[in-house]
Structure 1
Amino acid sequence: MRPRFARQQFDAPPHAVADAAADIAAAIGRAVEDVWPDIERKRLEFEVEVEGLDDDASDDDRLFPISEDDLFTILRNLLENAARYTPEGDAVRLRCELGRKRITVRDTGPGIASEECGRVFDPFYRVLGTGVTGTGLGLAIVKTLAEKYGWRVTLADAAPTAAPGAKGLAVTIEPCED
């Protein structure tokens, strides 16, 4: 049996994803349900904001051009990382912009130094000195799945003016503009 990461890398050829469509509200619900015990255990402030989900939104507005399982996996990995690295009692925020098909997860953890940003997408790579356990696969899986659908993943400081080690992290996934 191959590890989950290997399955994510090799399962679907790019042409097989053309008709994929996932309901963002359902995917968020599943991902939050999976990560909720960690959020509760650390007493994190947690917020979800979905821009464009109003009475005028059609069912198609809620759909993302990605398989439901892949969107769930992306969201779960981003939320799991945010909960893992955010200090007890701090905050994690998920923001989705339906019109732009953009998702951003922000946390108030230590952030990632700019010189490490490229490396954190490598399988099994972990930033040293965080005191947090893990396999180093979360962001590698997120990037692999995003690229499968022609999306990009960007990392930024959630609070750029904060002191080093307290900048938090904002991870955004969105379709690449051609």
Structure 2
Amino acid sequence: MKKILLAYLLIPLLLIGCSSEKPSLGFTYDEYKARINDALKQMGNKSTLKIIKEDVTDDGKKVIALSNNIMIFLVLNEDKIVTQANLAANDTAYLTEMDNFKFAFLLLIGTVDDSLSFGERNKVLQQLGISDEKVFAKDYTKSVIVKDIQYTYKGGFKEGTYVLQAEPK
């Protein structure tokens, strides 16, 4: 878990804009947690992911651990509304819990924009180039904008971390 947290904090937040007045994703931390729980309930026993721990980083980001190797970091504005969601997974997740690893990317996309159908969520993965498992073996970065939300993937086996960020554009 420390490895993911450290990796997340060290990844250049090229993914974060400089403006202090960032647009929000339109939901609170508690609403986002409810979205995660609803999505996990719908998956039933197809995934072993669940909220196992909640925490706050030193810089105020909310952390939701879905396993020891997969976490979601949320940036909130002063009104406690989520402005950015980041899924971080480490190489252990990639090697030992591949089904959960792949599902976590869909989970982030679907919980950030619950108006997307399952097919549209998969299309976002395809546009990012991460629907093919081969991409995880190399360092890779790509961004796409879908329905005014920018999704940015950065990661690879060399780095040992895989991050998908979602923020409004």
Question: Which interval holds the TM-score relative to the shorter structure?
Answer: 0.3 to 0.5
Q: Which has the larger radius of gyration?
A: 1
